[in-house]
Structures are given as C-alpha cells and as structure tokens.
A and B are shown apart, each in its own frame.
Chain A
Amino acid sequence: MSLDAGRILAVVRKEFRALRRNRFIIGTMTVLPVIFLISPMIEIFRLSPGISEEVVQRLAGSTFLLLMIIPVVVPAAIAAYSVVGEREQGTLEPLLTTPVRREELLLGKAAAAIVPSVGIAYLLFAVVAVCAKLFAADPAVTTALLQSSQVVGEILFAPLLAGWSIWVGIAISSRASDVRVAQQLGTLASLPPLVVVVLIDLQVLTPSVSLALTFAAVLLVADVGMWGVVSAMFDRERLLTGARATSGRSRRAAG
C-alpha cells in the first residue's frame, strides 16, 4: 500500500481551514488549557521557601498530570468531530467518492488534530516552567519540574497520548450517530492511558527516564495498532448506508 503525501496534505489543509472557523473547536482549544493551567500556577505561587522535598515532588507530579490531560482532551474533541461531523454536514459522501484511501484520509485528519494539541501541550509546559523559574519562592520547584524524567515524559507522552486520543476519537466518530455522543465517549475512552501518569503522581510508580521511555514505547505500539484498527473500521459502505457489507467480497470492494 502506497500513501500519497499530496492527498494527505490536502486533507490536513482542509482540516486546518475548517478548524480555524469552528467556534466550538477554537473554544475548546482555548478554554480547556487555561483551566488546566490555573491550578498548577496557583500552587506554584502559594509555595513558601523551604518546603519539603515531598511537597515539591507532589506538586511536580500533579502539574505533570494536568499537563498530560491537555493532549488527551483537546484532540479528543477534534477527532470525535472528524467523521460524524462530516456525515452530519453531508460532506462525507463526496469525500468518499474521491480516490483518497481511507488510511490517507485518517492520517490527514489525525495530523490536523495532533499538531495543535501537541503545540498547546508544549506551550503550556513552557509557560509553567518559565513561571516557576521566575516566580516560585523555592528553586527546588523548577528543578523538580525540569528533571529529566519530566521533560522526556512531556516531550514523548504529549504526541503519543494525543495520538491515542485521536485514534480512539476517530473510531468512536466512525460509529457514532451524533457529534455530542462522539465527543463525550471519545473524551472518556481516551483517558485510560493517563492511569500511568496518575500512578506516578500518587507516587506508586517512581518517575525515571527508563519508565518514561518504556511507557512511550507502549504508547507508540498502541497508537500504531489503533491506526490499523481504525482503518479497518472505516468502511465506506457502513458510513454511507449504516449497513455492513453483506459478503466478504463486498466488504473488500467497498474498501
């Protein structure tokens, strides 16, 4: 199977244009990061000098958790809209009549969702780090936030968690009949990988670079697997008629 970069780029460009003019998506991408930014910022400003190592680590952990929720929630809102939204607008059928392969279409949609999500996640991490450096009463906070396991985790987890969230969102969007259902289910279904981050935050797992790399590898495998699953689920006939192809030959022909 050869993928055409031109077709993927065409989908990405269209998705960006549509996102830019979608009030709901822009609202979600703006409001949610701000909400998740408020809590750690308040904690950073509240800290007094000479706090214990345990409190610092707990603050770093909870900040990390909140920052990791961003690349999960934001792309879920976008991805959940991707297929059912097209169907509600009546744009899905013309799209499916073109030579675009389902893998190309899905990759284009995923890329358009992952870029802003990861961008926002990195930006928030930078904001928190800069604020900690400038305003935290105790320099240990900055040290804890920028420890290698945190930085590696942020860099690796943000795109991989976003990838998981996107594929889950698209999978649900392919089957859902309503945008709201897709978005709510998509958000819920994309949360499980955060369990590892929660366990780190609860200090059940000790953060380390090796743990971050291991978790990243698992996420990468899960993302690639989900891409395959979602591509297999993306059945032209089912999307248009609501009916699954009636025979093996039929299903293949509609692919």
Chain B
Amino acid sequence: MQPTSGARWFTRRQVGFGFRPVTWQGWLITAVAIALVVALLVLLRTSRGIAVVAAVAVLAVYLGTAALLGGVPRAAPAPAPDPLAPPPTSHPTSFTTSPPASFTTSLATAPARVAMLATPSAGLPSPDGAALVVGHLTKRFGERTAFEDVSFTVAPGEVFGFLGPNGAGKTTTARTLGTLIAPTSGSAVVAGIPLLTENGTEIRNRISIMPENPGLYLRLTVIENLELFAGLYGLRHPRPRIDAALEAVNLGARGRDLCGSLSKGLRQRVGLARALLSDPAIMFLDEPTSGLDPVAAREVHDLINDLRQRGVTVFLTTHRLEEAERLCDRVAILNSRLRSVGRTDELREKLFSRSLAVETAAPLAAPDGVFDGATGVEGWRSDGDSSYVLSVTDPRVAAPAVTRALVAAGADVLSIVESRHSLEDVYLELIDEDPEAAAR
C-alpha cells in the first residue's frame, strides 16, 4: 500500500521523537506528543511558571531519551566468527561414519566430567514407562498448520532424533512439549506428567530446553548466567553444580568471563552447561552442535552419549544427518506430518531393498547366467562397465553364492560388499515423496 503524503512527511521528519512512525505505536507516540505540546501551550496561558518547568521536563525526558537511545548498546555486537567452526550445512551430501582419528585425542575425559553431575532425580517415567508419549498432537497458528497429527513414544534414556526440512515444525513441536506453546489438539505425557495447564511448572521442572540460539545475558559473566538459572530451578547452594556443569562442557576456566566476550561455540557450550544444571529427566536440544568446531562437536556427542547412559532422555532436533545417525537410537522425520519413526536400520529396510555391490576386473560376458541362478538374488542391474548391483533377500546368504557363481564363470572378483543406504538416502526418499516438501 502506497503511503499517503502525510505519512511520508512524518516518516521523513521522524516525528515521534526519533522513532519513525511507520507502525501504529509510532503514530500513537506522535499523536500524544502533539497533544502534550498543545496542552503545554494552553497551560502556558494560565500558569506560566509550572508550564515552563513542565515543558522543560518533558523535553528533557524525550530529548534525553532520544540522545541516549542513539548510543545504547541494546545487544552486544556479534561475536567474531569461530575460525574452527564448520560452514553451516543443512543437508550434507556425504557422511563420515567415524570421526577422523585426530579428533579423538582430547575427548576421553568428557564422560568422566559429566559423571561429576549428580544422578538425575527428577526423571519419572510415565505410567507405561515411556519418557515421552505424544498422541495425535497438532498445532495451528490461525490457518497455518505448524505440525499435525504427530504421534510417537520415546523411552527413558533414549536419544531421539527429530529431523525435517526447514519449516517442518520441529522447533514448534519441541516448544509444545516443553510447555512454551500450547497444542491445538492432541495429547502428550512429558516425563510422566500430562501436558496440561496446571502441570506447566512441574513439567518445566523436569526438563530442560536448549534453543538453537543459547540466549545468554551478554553483559553477565558465565557464572552469573548459570546462577540465575540455578535460582529459577530452585537449586540451593548451586555453586558446586555450576562448577560441575562448567567442567562437563570444558569451560571451568571461563566462569568469570563476560558471555559477550565468548565465541559462538563457547556460548553454545554455556547453553549446554545451563541445560545440565537441573539434572533434567528429558533434555530438548535444538541443534546443539550448531557453530561448534569438530572437536567441540565431538565433545557434545560424548556428553549426549553419557547422558543416555545416566538415564537422561534426549530429544535432539538436528539438521546434521550424520550426527543423528551416530547418536540417535531412533529418529523421526517430520514434515508437518510425521513421515516415519524408527531405528535408522529399520527405516532403511522399510524403504530400500537390501543389495550387494559387485565389481569385477572385466565386464561379465553373460551376467544373466551368473546372477540369476545364485541363491538369494532377486534381481540385478548394471552400475557401470564392470559393476553390478544385486537385490538380495539376505546379504549373508547371497554373498557366498554370488562369489561361487562368479568364480565358476571365470570372473576376476575385485569386491563384493553390502550396499548400505545412509540416513541421508532415507531422509531424501521420505521428503522427496512428500508433496508438501516439494512445494516448500
């Protein structure tokens, strides 16, 4: 909509004491300010002394406010980019199933450090033993559906991965289960407590949520940040717990640093320490390794594994599929609706037939004759001059039979390996077959 000439005049001159009146608040400020000036002028006619003082006071307030606001550091400047942090990748195109050996040297102590924290006392399983039971949960914002008919169960001590494209409703689901957002319909039991109005405080007492942006008070020190949250969780004499939490994330020496002076990676670690403070039964971690260098990310992975061993349920929202594959007992793939839930192996088997990749030194003269008769082989296709992909019922049965058939046919076998589909393949398969994802 084209602004009127009056609107342009006000906007250009920044009437409203420094605030551009482009919103209703700005117009209100401007209107009240004008009314105030008129009132002062009227007052000036009747009571000169008080009017002058009042005018000076009002002007001082607004001019002082405007002047001070010009220099107010409302938010600390963005931290310097972490030179070790990897570039952000939403959907990596290839996976490394095990970390490089050079990353493993400093990590052995992380679980030991976590063990310094007390065993969680808040974890109460739901009546059927699950940490999280979600049934047909739906959240709509007006006409827009954030997520719909989502149902799953998470066992105590399980690391549950929550995957999905941007805008799929992952964070909204986590916020809903964390009682920050109310569901439109459906039900849930969180740490043994039904997701109801009156249970909000009790649920929040038993869980912790670490948003993607750790949201630290940048003008406070690390310890001061943690002291606030220790107080909010009702921890008496919190210092030992704070020290243990900082040790767990390898920040014991940075407690007195202002959070504004920390790199993004270190702030993420402070956020994790904060989430550990209350010994939660369930931790909701939203992209916990975002912005971390590989060593720090690996430390977080070790922390998560250790939390699992201590019986803490972890609800991990992540874009990093290799992270989900490495850490999660099960994953859910969400795209407004839940596409699939299960162990990654189960998902692979459900979506893809099992296969063997065969490579020979030279192309086979009659591959039909070799593969069709082999036990356990359901079909085959060529994957290059001398490479073949065989669909099999069971690789452990088919591989020896195929080897014998190849040798009998006089072929020189270079390799016969089971072809494994990655979680990325599963994810892309599920998302690609979703018409909503295509439109996204």
Residues in A lying within 8 Å of B, measured CB to CB: 4, 6-7, 9-11, 13-14, 17-18, 21-24, 27-28, 31-32, 35-36, 39, 58, 62, 65-66, 69, 73, 77, 85, 88-101, 176-181, 183-185, 187-188, 198, 201-202, 236-237, 240-241, 243, 245-247, 249-255
Contacts and interface: CB of A to CB of B under 8 A. Distances in A.
Nearest to A243: B141
B167 interface: no
A236 B180 contact: yes
B261 to A, nearest CB: 13
Nearest to B225: A14
Contacts of B180: 93, 96-97, 236-237, 240, 254
A14 B71 CA distance: 23
A89 B204 contact: no
Please list the 8 inter-chain residue pairs (A to B) with the smallest Cβ-Cβ separation, ordered nearest first.
A10-B231, A250-B182, A252-B197, A24-B72, A253-B182, A98-B232, A254-B182, A97-B209
Given A10-B232, A58-B49, A246-B142, A66 B65 contact: no
B244 to A, nearest CB: 19
B50 A202 contact: yes
A238 to B, nearest CB: 10
Contact of B215 (A22, A94, A201, A252): A94
Given A24-B68, A69-B57, A176-B25, A6 B231 contact: yes
Contacts of A6: 231, 234, 236
A176 B29 CA distance: 13
A180 B183 CA distance: 33
B106 interface: no
A249 B179 CA distance: 12
Interface residues of B, number: 76
8 contacts: A14-B220, A28-B68, A85-B74, A99-B232, A101-B201, A185-B28, A241-B172, A249-B182
B417 interface: no
Contacts of A95: 215, 232
Nearest to A8: B231
A95 B28 CA distance: 31
Interface in B178-226: 178-184, 195-197, 200-202, 204-205, 207-211, 213-220, 224
B181 A241 contact: yes
B213 A90 contact: yes
Interface in B120-168: 140-142
